[in-house]
Amino acid sequence: MNCALISVGTELLFGQITNTNTVYLSKRLNELGINVYYHFTVGDNCRRLEEILNYAMKNTDLIITTGGLGPTQDDLTRETVAKAMGKNLVLHRPSMERLESFFKDLNRSMCENNKKQAYLPEDSIVLQNNKGTAPGFIIENMGKVIISLPGPPKEMIGMFEDCVGGYLREKSKSTIYSSVLRFFGIGESSLETELLDLITKQENPTIAPYAKEGEVSLRVTAKAENENAAMKLIEPIVREIRSKVGTYLYSDQDEELVEVVAKALMEKEISISIAESCTGGLLAGRLTAVPGISKCFHAGYITYSNEAKMKMLGVGQDTLDLWGAVSEETAKEMVLRLREKTNSDLCVSITGIAGPDGGTEDKPVGLVYIGLLYKEHLTVQRIKAFGDRDRIRNYSVLSALNMIRNVIK
Q: For residues 159-198, which are near its own copies according to CB under 8 A? A: 178, 180, 188-189, 192-193
Reduce the DSSP state of residue 371 to 3 states and report it: strand
Of the candidates 182, 300, 342, 169, the one whose C-alpha atom is nearest the C-alpha of residue 250 is 182
- Asked if residue 38 binds its own copies (CB under 8 A), the reply is yes
Task: Choose the stretch contacting its own copies; rule: CB under 8 A; options: 91-99, 160-168, 350-358, 399-407.
Answer: 350-358
From the CB of 88, what's the least distance to its own copies, in Å?
26
Rounded-to-integer distance, Cα 116 and Cα 7, Å:
20
Q: For its own copies, which is the closer residue by CB, 8 or 380?
A: 8
- Asked if residue 261 binds its own copies (CB under 8 A), the reply is no
Reduce the DSSP state of residue 173 to 3 states and report it: coil
Of the candidates 80, 82, 94, the one whose C-alpha atom is nearest the C-alpha of residue 138 is 82
- Answer for which of 298, 375, 382, 384 binds its own copies (CB under 8 A) is 298
From the CB of 89, what's the least distance to its own copies, in Å?
20
CB–CB of 202/220 below 8 Å? no
- Asked if residue 314 binds its own copies (CB under 8 A), the reply is no
Q: Which helix (H) or strand (E) holds 54?
A: helix 46-59
- Answer for which of 98, 304, 324, 406 binds its own copies (CB under 8 A) is 304
- Answer for which of 179, 279, 351, 402 binds its own copies (CB under 8 A) is 279
- Answer for which of 33, 62, 65, 70 binds its own copies (CB under 8 A) is 70
- Asked if residue 390 binds its own copies (CB under 8 A), the reply is yes
| Interface positions, 227-246, toward its own copies (CB under 8 A) | none
Reduce the DSSP state of residue 364 to 3 states and report it: coil
Of the candidates 396, 406, 371, the one whose C-alpha atom is nearest the C-alpha of residue 264 is 406
Pairing mode, strands 215-224 and 175-184? antiparallel
- Asked if residue 72 binds its own copies (CB under 8 A), the reply is yes
Binding mask 86-125 for its own copies (x = CB under 8 A): -------------------------x-xx-----------
Rounded-to-integer distance, Cα 116 and Cα 87, Å:
16
- Asked if residue 199 binds its own copies (CB under 8 A), the reply is yes
CB–CB of 352/391 below 8 Å? no
- Asked if residue 41 binds its own copies (CB under 8 A), the reply is yes
- Answer for which of 172, 174, 288, 406 binds its own copies (CB under 8 A) is 288
- Answer for which of 248, 297, 374, 395 binds its own copies (CB under 8 A) is 297
CB–CB of 156/5 below 8 Å? no
- Asked if residue 7 binds its own copies (CB under 8 A), the reply is yes
What are the DSSP calls for 208-262, one per residue? EEEEETTEEEEEEEEEESSHHHHHHHHHHHHHHHHHHHGGGEEESS---HHHHHH
From the CB of 13, what's the least distance to its own copies, in Å?
4
Pairing mode, strands 377-384 and 367-374? antiparallel
- Asked if residue 68 binds its own copies (CB under 8 A), the reply is no
Rounded-to-integer distance, Cα 282 and Cα 288, Å:
10
- Asked if residue 285 binds its own copies (CB under 8 A), the reply is yes
- Answer for which of 280, 314, 316, 324 binds its own copies (CB under 8 A) is 280
CB–CB of 89/148 below 8 Å? no
| Interface positions, 122-151, toward its own copies (CB under 8 A) | none
- Answer for which of 105, 357, 361, 376 binds its own copies (CB under 8 A) is 357
CB–CB of 159/95 below 8 Å? no
Q: Which helix (H) or strand (E) holds 166?
A: helix 165-171
Binding mask 8-37 for its own copies (x = CB under 8 A): -xxxxxxxxxxxx-xxxxxxx-x-----xx
- Asked if residue 71 binds its own copies (CB under 8 A), the reply is yes
Q: For its own copies, which is the closer residue by CB, 40 or 250?
A: 40
- Asked if residue 355 binds its own copies (CB under 8 A), the reply is yes
Q: For its own copies, which is the closer residue by CB, 121 or 151?
A: 151
Of the candidates 63, 72, 124, the one whose C-alpha atom is nearest the C-alpha of residue 94 is 124
Of the candidates 316, 297, 298, 295, the one whose C-alpha atom is nearest the C-alpha of residue 307 is 316
- Asked if residue 301 binds its own copies (CB under 8 A), the reply is yes
